[in-house]
Amino acid sequence: MSVPARAPVRPTATHPAPARRRTAHPVAWWGWALLLATTAGRTANPWLLLLIVAVAGLVVTFCRGDEPWSGAYRVFLLIGLTAVAVRMAFYIVFGGSDGPTVLFSLPSTTLPDWAAGFRLGGNVTAEGALAAAYDGLRLATLLVCVGAANALASPRRLLRSVPAALYEVSVAVVVALSVAPQLVAGVGRVRRARALRGNTNRSPANLMRTVAAPVLHDALDRSLALAAAMASRGYGRAAGIPAPARRATGAALLFGLLGLCAGAYALLGAATPAPVAWTLLAAGAAAAVFGIAFASKRVPHTRYRPDRFGPLDWAVLASGAAAVVGTVLSGLTDSAALWPATNPLAVPDLPLWAAAGVLLAAAPAALVPSTPKGTT
Amino acid sequence: MTSGTEGTGALAQEVAAPRPRVRWRARLALVLAAGFGLVAMSWPLLTTPGGALTETTSGPWLFALLLPLVTAAVLMQLSDGGLDARAVAMLGVMSAVVAAVRPFGAGAAGVETVFFLIILAGRVFGAGFGFILGCTGLFASALLTGGVGPWMPFQMFAAAFVGLGAGLLPRTGTDTRGGRAAELVLLAAYAVVSSILYGLLLNLSFWPFAITQGNLAYVPGGGIGENLPRLFAYSLATSLGWDIGRAITTAVLIALTGPLLLRVLRRAARRANWV
């Protein structure tokens, strides 16, 4: 659909200007959350990890809208708690690091040699349990950061930021997102019609034949109608991309994949020096990114109200980066506080630089709070 | 309501209108991506002592970031020159169906309700369609349920190859009763193999950061002899039951719903041939 770029839509009362949107760009939210997750990955200090969870929760509370995915933070918090519990259970049954303070002893047994000779049960020590708890807390914090991104970033807006070269695939996902609710409605309609016909048979075979089949037929027929509608509006005609450009894209992508493959295999073995392997991997990734960006430039699709990355979005990203910088500074000054020892038992210190950085990452709560009636 | 309206002769001609064509460049890209994916998932077993990956703990994160790039490159090659409008619409609807049935499997242990759809659709619409459906289906369902996480690239990638493999299975005649039965048996057997492989590979990709100490943890630089028994014990302790449950439910679902769904999908493929 190579529509010439039209004049920008003038803001009116019913169509507020896009600049007035209050919530940040979904890419900014994902970047912020991944930077927080990186921070969590660089430490095992429980105070710092709990601070990260608290900051993520604060920002989610202030900035989320009221869309269906906005409750994701709580779900991921539960998954994180499960991760801690599973980690502790693994420690108690299969053992881990040991220490002198024995809390209690389980009957222990050693598996035979063919099963790798593991020891099950045995002493449960305070030091080992603490190490397992720190480790589980680290994984839980990573998961909670991802949950915050899920709660904050609108998937529909995220889909608009997919590279233009993947336009068709992203259209398919958009179709999927809008068809899924229709499927649920379709099931209700078919069931009502079935009840009106007096069919109360509950056997799975009958349900399959009289509910699943009509719903699926309906959905597939609708997809054909949609395809006809799209085709009649000029969708899917061969885009006028010159052959050399297409060949260049293909070559860049293939060389990128080749580089990524070679780099990954070189990383595995000891035969290739590590710098060479990392360079190969980076070069492959760069070639693939270039191929995607190059192809996106050539695609003659215009965007309606493009979602620009504004200064507020950069501020959100910068606040996430502050947490990483703080952790790196703490790592340079006192790395012992970032990786507290569990043997002997001690109350870990709070590394100041890292804590200050993580507190700065709460800035989005003040920068882009959600409006009372939800987000745009 | 569908049976009887279609003659067996119509079923015999394999009409596959919305099949994205798989060109040689796309094939090459798929092979390279498969190679990369194998390393990305099974690097804990493949690294040798002294390799660059053994010294860092960032392996899974690195691959979780690079896999979307690889997937995007392959998808671009597959849809090079523009996908047909019918293929896009069909992909959207099938992804919606995948996203709609996925929650049914979330509650019970090991019940997986996604794969049978991807396998059946890949069988009817071809390998390229199966690959893209594996990606878009899991992506759409993750977006709808807010389940985007570090595991998603691995899941999408593995499910894409499940769909691709279903499209590459050898043809059996669909015009005789025996041929249709043979097709179902073939698909069910493929479902068992692919479900167990999928579970093992995903386990492998998550293992190094699910547990880091103790008898079941990955030993950096331990080599395959040290790590394989540990992986086996970890799988046994965590997910083997789920993997077997997934294999059984997928095979049973294919056997039960296969005759109906294959007919529905083939009818749609035939009707889509309207140009």
**DSSP line for B34-68:** HHHHHHHHHHHHHPPTT-GGGG-S-HHHHHHHHHH
Residue A100 lies in a domain: yes
Task: Find where tokens 């991506």 sit.
Answer: B33
Q: Do residues A151 and A41 share a domain?
A: yes
Residue B245 lies in a domain: yes
- CB proximity A146 to B under 8 Å: yes
Q: Which of A306, A333, A352 is the last residue of a domain?
A: A306
> What distance in Å separates the CA atoms of residue A222 and residue A239, rounded to the nearest whole number?
26
Residue B8 lies in a domain: no
pLDDT at A111: 64
Q: Tell me which residue in B80, B89, B267 faces A175 most closely, judged by beta carbons.
A: B89
Nearest CA in chain A to B226: A116
The Cα of B178 is separated from the nearest Cα of chain A by a number of Å equal to 22
Q: Do residues A297 and A226 share a domain?
A: no
> What distance in Å separates the CA atoms of residue B110 and residue B107, rounded to the nearest whole number?
9
Residue A9 lies in a domain: no
Q: Tell me which residue in A131, A227, A265 faces B89 most closely, judged by beta carbons.
A: A227
pLDDT at A209: 80
pLDDT at B112: 66
- Residue A357's domain comprises 21-161+307-367
pLDDT at B105: 60
Average pLDDT along chain B: 75
Q: Please report the residues numbered 204 through 243 in chain A whose beta carbons come closer than 8 angstroms to any beta carbon of chain B.
A: 204, 208-210, 212-214, 216-217, 219-224, 226-228, 230-231, 235-239, 241
Residues in chain A: 376
Is the predicted pLDDT of residue B178 greater than 90, yes or no?
no
The Cα of B267 is separated from the nearest Cα of chain A by a number of Å equal to 9
Q: Do residues A35 and A144 share a domain?
A: yes
Residue B2 lies in a domain: no
pLDDT at A242: 72
Q: Do residues A38 and A151 share a domain?
A: yes
pLDDT at A346: 78
Under DSSP, the state recorded for A211 is: I
pLDDT at A32: 92
Q: Do residues A301 and A324 share a domain?
A: no
Q: Do residues A251 and A214 share a domain?
A: no
Query: What is the full DSSP assignment across A301-312?
Result: ---SS-----HH
Residue A258 lies in a domain: yes
Ranges of H-type helices in chain A: 26-41, 46-63, 72-94, 126-152, 155-160, 167-196, 204-207, 213-232, 243-268, 274-298, 311-333, 335-338, 352-360, 364-367
Residue B228 lies in a domain: yes
pLDDT at A50: 93
> What distance in Å separates the CA atoms of residue B160 and residue B99, rounded to the nearest whole number?
15
Nearest CA in chain A to B95: A176
Q: Do residues A149 and A250 share a domain?
A: no
Nearest CA in chain B to A219: B93
Q: Do residues A316 and A281 share a domain?
A: no
Residue A193 lies in a domain: yes
Cross-chain Cβ contact A246/B81 below 8 Å: yes
Amino acid of residue B72? A
pLDDT tens per residue across span A202-256: 787 788 788 888 888 888 888 888 888 877 877 665 556 677 777 888 888 888 8
Closest Cα to residue A313, out of A54, A8, A30? A30
Is the predicted pLDDT of residue B168 greater than 80, yes or no?
yes
The Cα of B186 is separated from the nearest Cα of chain A by a number of Å equal to 22
| Predicted complex ipTM | 0.75
pLDDT at B58: 64
Amino acid of residue A224? L
> What distance in Å separates the CA atoms of residue B31 and residue A260, rounded to the nearest whole number?
13
Q: Which of B21, B24, B88 to mutate to test the interface with A (most CBs of A within 10 A)?
A: B88
- Residue B239's domain comprises 17-271
Q: Tell me which residue in A68, A182, A292 faces B73 most closely, judged by beta carbons.
A: A292
pLDDT at A7: 42
Q: Distances from the Cα of A230 to the Cαs of A168, A179, B98, B273, in angstroms?
A: 12, 15, 23, 15
The count of domains in chain A is: 3
The Cα of B51 is separated from the nearest Cα of chain A by a number of Å equal to 4
CB pairs under 8 A between A and B: 290
Q: Which of A306, A323, A347 is the last residue of a domain?
A: A306
> What distance in Å separates the CA atoms of residue A75 and residue A86, rounded to the nearest whole number?
16
Number of helices and strands in chain B (H, E): 10, 0
pLDDT tens per residue across span B235-259: 777 667 777 878 888 888 888 888 8
Residue B12 lies in a domain: no
Q: Do residues A223 and A251 share a domain?
A: no
B215: phi > 0 → left, psi -120 to 50 → alpha, else beta; which?
Answer: alpha
DSSP run (H or E) holding A120: strand A119-125
Which range is least confidently modeled, B64-73, B99-108, B201-210?
B99-108
In the three-class reduction of DSSP (H, G, I as helix; E, B as strand; rest coil), residue A317 is classed as helix
The count of domains in chain B is: 1
Distance of CA A235 to the CA centre of its chain: 31
DSSP run (H or E) holding B26: helix B24-46
Amino acid of residue B39? V
Residues in chain B: 275
Q: Which of A92, A106, A168, A170 to mutate to test the interface with B (most CBs of B within 10 A)?
A: A168
Task: Find where tokens 């299975």 sit.
Answer: B169
Is the torsion defined by CA of B182, B188, B191, B197 positive or negative?
Answer: negative
pLDDT at B57: 60
Q: Tell me which residue in A174, A219, A254 faces B97 most closely, judged by beta carbons.
A: A219
Parallel, antiparallel, or unpaired: how do β-strands A102-110 and A119-125 relate?
antiparallel
Chain A residues with CB-CB distance to B274 below 8 A: 224, 228
Closest Cα to residue B163, out of B131, B187, B202? B131
pLDDT at B109: 46
Q: Which residues of chain A have pLDDT under 50?
A: 1-20, 373-376
pLDDT at A239: 59
Residue A1 lies in a domain: no
Contact by Cβ (8 Å): A368, A22? yes
> What distance in Å separates the CA atoms of residue B93 and residue B75, rounded to the nearest whole number?
18
Q: Do residues A157 and A201 share a domain?
A: no
Tell me the backbone φ, ψ of residue B74, rounded to 5 degrees.
Answer: -65, -40
Cross-chain Cβ contact A142/B150 below 8 Å: yes
C-beta neighbour count of B217 within 10 angstroms: 20
Residue A13 lies in a domain: no
The Cα of B180 is separated from the nearest Cα of chain A by a number of Å equal to 19
Q: For position B37, which CATH number holds? A: 1.10.1760.20
Query: What is the full DSSP assignment across B189-243?
Result: HHHHHHHHHHHHHHHHHHHHHH--SSTTS--TT-HHHHHHHHHHHHHHHHTHHHH
Q: Do residues A301 and A313 share a domain?
A: no
Closest Cα to residue B148, out of B46, B71, B64? B64
Q: Do residues A154 and A44 share a domain?
A: yes
pLDDT at A30: 87
Under DSSP, the state recorded for A106 is: E
> What distance in Å separates the CA atoms of residue B129 and residue B17, rounded to the nearest whole number?
11
pLDDT at A19: 41
Residue B257 lies in a domain: yes
Cross-chain Cβ contact B48/A269 below 8 Å: yes
pLDDT at B214: 63
Q: Which of A281, A306, A331 is the last residue of a domain?
A: A306
pLDDT at B256: 85
